[in-house]
Every structure is written in C-alpha cells, then in structure tokens.
Chains A and B, each alone.
Chain A
Amino acid sequence: MFADYTTSELMSIFAMQGFAGLILFSVFVLMALGLAIIFGQMGVINMAHGEFMILGAYITYLTSNVFADYMPNLFGAYFFIAMILAFIAAGALGMLVEWAMIRHLYHRPLDTLLATWGLSLILQQCYRTIFGAREVGVTLPDWLMGSFQLTDIIEVPINGIFVMTLAVGISVAIAALMYKSRWGIQVRSVVQNRPMAGAVGINTARVDRLTFGLGCGIAGVAGSAFTMIGSTGPTSGQLYIVDTFLVVVFGGAASLLGTIASAFTISQAQSTMEFFLSGSMAKVLTLLFVVFILMLRPQGLFSLKVRR
C-alpha cells in the first residue's frame, strides 16, 4: 500500500500517525486518571465516571455562554475559567456522592459498581431535563482552533497540543500531590492500613471524601477539555466508559505510572491498527488484545489488592 508514495511522504505520515497516537494517549490519560485514583486508591468502581466528565463539559458550555453574553472581550480566556469551574463542580458533586452513597459501600466493591451505574442513569436524565436531549455545541476560543504547519504534510492541531499539555500537567500535579504532599501520604497510608491510619489521627472519612472528590474533579476537567474534540450531550459520557475502564484495569490500578503505561500501550496499538485496518476492526482487535494480555498476565498487572 505504500508503493505510491515517496519516502519523505511516508516519513511525514508516520510522524503524523505517531502524533495521532500521542493525542489518543493524552485523551486516555485524561479519561483514566480520575478513575485510576478512585479505583486504585479506594477500590471503588465508579460507573458514573463518564457522567462526571459530561458535567465538566456542560459547565464549559455554560461558561462559554456567559462569557459570550457578558464579557465578549475576555472570551479567549474563558476556557481556563471553565476548567477550574468544571473541577470544582464535578469535585463537589463527587464529594456529595461519596457522603451520600459510596461511604456505605466500601466493603462491597461490586455493589459500588451497580450503585454508581444507577447514579449515572439519574445524572443522564438530569442533563436531559436541564439541557435538553440534543447535543449542545460549545464554541471554542479562536486560539484553540487551527494548527501549526510544520512541513507540507505535517500539521499539528493546536487543541491536540493543548490536550497533551493538560494531560502531562495534570499527571505531574497528581503525582506531586500523591507522593510529595502531606495529604498524599495520608491517602496512601489509608489505603495501606485503614485502622492504623485512623489510630494515628488521620481523619480517614475526610481523606476518602477528598480522594473521591479529586477523582471526580479530574473527570470534570477532562470533560471540559473534551469539548474540543467530542460531543456534549446527555449520553455522551457512555461513549468513554469502556475505554476508560480498560485503561485503568489494564494498568493494574496500582500506580499512576501503571495507568499511564497502559494508556500509552492501548493508544499506540489502536492508532497503529486504525491506520492499517478499518476503524471497527481496529477497535475489536485492540479490545481483544487488551483482554488477551489481561488473561496472560493478571498477576503482573493487578498488584494492588482491592479493599474488601
């Protein structure tokens, strides 16, 4: 299939495809980070993760409308405000959910899965009632549109770079928070030995709530960023859920590094296969590949035990 092209064209295409893989990687990282924190640190399966992302997307939509109506000259900057608001809103909802629901279910991980599925249905219907059944279009500031022309063929989309920067930034921030801050130490100590952490004066309930809130907040930011590349509708969140779970499970949920490594593997596999096969077959093969690897190496990837 490559006979018709010159070497330089081929090189450019491979560069482009590599870049497409990197964008996919960033998208996966953003999707999965929040879930990885919640699943990895707390053992909770949050099936409503996609709905928290869409909450972030709707917040972005509202913010863009407010800016367009009242502060049109500041419109270029609204995206940052929107991401912060998305983080706060999704995080706050997450903490509320933790308080009302999740904390009663810590010893029953499979039940959190069902309960949060119920939550996702309720959230979807809320979105539908508030924003209507149709998808909403989010207007992006001009500076996020378009691309850099590097060579004749190689063009780098600006929003791709933005998503990548965001993914890297959030990963670094989370890593710093988890491994450097006092709060991160508390989270990890609660994970490892709950009664002992409680005994040495850590407010475990508060740590749980904040962890869950943080995970949901990151989902909100991801959703906000995804308004650049995807749709915003009541059921859009469901489009992401299987991919997200596979990334997290494949990574082993043990460490952020595992999640990032798995996002990288899956995204590269998928984007490579997409180039040679039809999109549907690429998806099937990627999923099969992940399931197959999980069958072969469950012990290597599942190093962290789920709290029972």
Chain B
Amino acid sequence: MSYAGLRSLLPKNDLINFAVLALILVVVLPLSLDIFRLNLVGKYLTYAFVALGLVLCWGYGGILSLGQGVFFGLGGYAMAMFLKLEASSPENTAIQSTPGIPDFMDWNQLTELPWFWQPFHSLTFTVIAIIVIPSIFAYIIGVAMFKRRVGGVYFAIITQAVAAILTILIIGQQGYTGGVNGITDLRTLFGWDIRTNEAKYVFYFLCVFMLFLCLGVAQFVRKSKLGRLLVAMREMEDRVRFSGYDVANFKIFVFCLGSAFAAIGGAMFTLQVGFMSPTFVGIVPSIEMVIFCAVGGRLSIFGAVYGALVVNWAKTTFSESFPELWLFAMGALFIGVVMAFPNGLAGLYTKYCEPKVNQLIARFTGKSNDTSAELAPQMKTEGGNP
C-alpha cells in the first residue's frame, strides 16, 4: 500500500494510540506483573474482543446486541470441544464405561461421540469453526432481522432472547454440552500442557497478537467507506437507502464481523482460563460486555480495550476488598457512563488529554499541529446514538 494510503488508514493520532497500547500490552504489563496477574489481564483482554465488535456494531452502526455472549460462547465452546477431546483420550479416561469420550458424556450414558463433536478432533477444523460457526449464526439472525428492518430496541430484546434460549439449551442438553458445569478440565494442546506458566505466557501473547489483528481489521473497516456508511446509517437510515445502498447487507456484515471478534475472544478465553461454561452465554455477561464498550467509549476501538481492562480490573480489586460494594460500584458505573460520559474514557481523553499530547508532540517535533489536516475528520459526537 502506498504511503498516502497508509496515512489515510492510520492517521497520526491512531498511530500513537496503536503504539501506546502495544507498549502497554507487550512491554509494560508482562514486565511488571507476575504470571497470575498477567493471566488475569489476558482474561480481561478476551472481553476486549467483544467490546471491539460492539464498537463497530453499536457505536458505529447503532445496532445494540445484548446477546454477544452467544458468540463469545460459541467460539469458546468450539475451542473447548477440541481441547476436551484431546483430554479425553482413551488412556486418560480408562476408568469410564466408554473410554475415549468426554467424562460428562459418560455420566450421561452416551456410548459414542455425537456426530457434531467428531470434526473437533481436528485443530484446523476447530480454528475455522471458531470464526465461521458464530458468523453463520450471526448471519442467520442478521438476515432475519435486518432484512425485515427490525432494529433498535427490538433487536436488543430479541438478541437477549436468543441468549436465553442458547443458555437453556446448553444447560438442558448436558450429555452433549457438559450442562451447567460447562466443559472443564482441559489439559493439553497436542500434548503440550496448557496449564503451565510458560503456556500462560504464550497464550497471553497470542491473545495480544489476535487482539491487534482484530484492531487492525476494525481500523480498516472504520477508515473505509463502509465505516462512514455505518455512521450515516445510524443517523439517517432512509437517506442511505435512497442513495442506492442495501442497508441490511451492511448491518449484517458488521454484525457478523462483531460476532467473529467475540468468538475469537471466546476461544482465547478458553485457552487462558481452561474451561468454558454457559455462564458466559447468558444475558448478564452479555450486558456486562456492553458496559465494557460503553466505559471505554462506544466510538473508540482503543477505548474498547481500555474499557474491558479497567472495568474488570476494578471488579477484581473491588470484589477482593469490598465484595458488598462491588454491585453499587458497577451500577453507578453504568449510570454514570450513560448519563455523564456517553463517550466514555475515549471521550474524556479526546477532550482533555489529546490536545496536550498534541502540543507536546508539536513541541518535540517543532512542527505546528493545529491543522489536523487529515482528510477524514475525527468524529466528535455528543452521545451519538439513534
């Protein structure tokens, strides 16, 4: 890509943001935290994938999904199924009445592996499935909803119902899914123990790498015409339609993309935490994921990452010291972000910090910086929401 093309894809402010985030995630945190805390950060980052998807869907496209846990869960379950099959080798499960199948299946009198588990013996299939299955699912929901112009609040409620349905199904079909306990006791990946500290470091960096990959995709989408179309649709859907666009297709695309991000996050979660359970599929976690996005700033892809980190870090700290106060703090956070800081941390940053940073840079480089001459101007929405 030409320099100019790169420049328009990655204007200076974003370049700085990328660099700072990379510095924090790749250098600062691994050096300053022990593996226990770093593993926690890795877990928080998996939620950042979901929040990132929500920035595109909700912040840009105005589509609020309260069922992102569904996709997070699908991705996580796909990964967990692969690992569980490896952990359930005939040698490991010799005491079962049917060796070679996951323990929970044995408890539920299954005597052979169900057909839809079979392909998960293959890592290649699993990796593809992690992205493709949730995307197809999102595509089906998207086509059904957006082609019929269901949107806004209705879409939110319906996705919530989908989350409820999937939770009940997973819990009810415990012979196939592990039920309420989920898929637990995952041990190795091709014989390599995933519970060691070394493995945790590897997975942390893999997670960071995938996150940057997704951030890159998100940045590309954001800076493309499609990104501007999303904003346009959020404001004046009819106008976009009467400019000759099939609006539903764009919504479906961004919803699928957000779901694929969430699914990758889910898979990373399984790798780092070591199990997957229906508690991440339901309504409550799905709504919490929205708040990560809102706290970070619903229009900022970097905000999504910081939001997920900050809220979860606060949750861990608060619940360690004042478990009773945690719900108060969380509730206040929801209300405060919505009412006082609709653009979240990113909004505060652009308002108070960015000018100073720019001054600082200007002073160092000796160049004047007031033109902000990028062709694509910054969005400075006030609570921009349909």
Contact = CB atoms under 8 A, between A and B. Distances in A.
Interface of B: 58, 64, 66, 144-145, 148-150, 152-154, 156-158, 160-162, 164-165, 168-169, 171-172, 283-284, 287, 290-291, 294, 324, 327-328, 330-335, 337-339, 342, 383, 385-386
Contact of A122 (B144, B150, B328): B328
Interface in A236-250: 238, 241-242, 245-246, 249
Interface in A80-121: 101, 104-105, 108-111, 113-115, 117-121
B331 A110 contact: no
12 contacts: A114-B287, A115-B334, A115-B338, A121-B328, A129-B324, A242-B164, A246-B157, A246-B161, A283-B168, A287-B168, A295-B144, A295-B148
A66 interface: no
Contacts of A105: 338-339
Contacts of B153: 43, 45, 109-110, 113, 249, 306
The interface size bin for chain A is 35 or more
Contact of B335 (A118, A238, A284, A288): A118
Nearest to A252: B154
Given A118-B333, A290-B161, A291-B162, A242 B324 contact: no
Contacts of B152: 109-110, 306
Contact of A104 (B145, B165, B283, B339): B339
A287 B165 contact: yes
Contacts of A45: 153, 156-157
Given A105-B339, A246-B161, A283-B168, A118 B154 contact: no
Contacts of B149: 298-299
B385 to A, nearest CB: 5
A115 B168 contact: no
Interface in A214-268: 238, 241-242, 245-246, 249
A242 B169 CA distance: 16
A109 B385 CA distance: 9
B238 to A, nearest CB: 13
A159 interface: no
Contacts of B338: 105, 111, 114-115, 118
A294 B150 contact: yes
The A contact surface, by secondary structure, is helix
B241 to A, nearest CB: 16
Given A242-B164, A287-B164, A111 B385 contact: yes
A298 B148 contact: yes
A111 B324 contact: no
Interface string A275-290: 0001011011001101
A118 B383 contact: no
Interface of A: 43, 45, 101, 104-105, 108-111, 113-115, 117-122, 124-125, 128-129, 238, 241-242, 245-246, 249, 278, 280-281, 283-284, 287-288, 290-291, 294-295, 298-299, 302, 306, 308
Given A288-B165, A298-B148, A114 B290 contact: yes
A-B interface, 7 closest residue pairs, ranked by CB to CB distance from nearest: A118-B334, A122-B331, A121-B331, A125-B327, A280-B172, A118-B335, A118-B331
Contacts of A124: 327
Given A294-B154, A308-B386, A281 B172 contact: yes
B335 A302 contact: no
Given A111-B342, A291-B165, A298-B150, 16 more contacts: A45-B153, A101-B339, A108-B383, A111-B338, A111-B383, A114-B294, A114-B334, A114-B337, A115-B335, A117-B287, A122-B335, A129-B324, A241-B283, A249-B154, A281-B172, A287-B165
Contacts of A294: 150, 154, 158
A257 to B, nearest CB: 19
A119 B383 contact: no
A242 B386 contact: no
A242 B144 contact: no
A119 B154 contact: no
Contact of A121 (B58, B154, B294, B330): B330
A124 B326 CA distance: 11
B148 A117 contact: no
Nearest to B164: A242
Contact of B157 (A115, A121, A122, A245): A245
B154 A298 contact: yes
A280 B327 contact: no
B154 to A, nearest CB: 6
Contacts of B144: 295
A121 B329 CA distance: 9
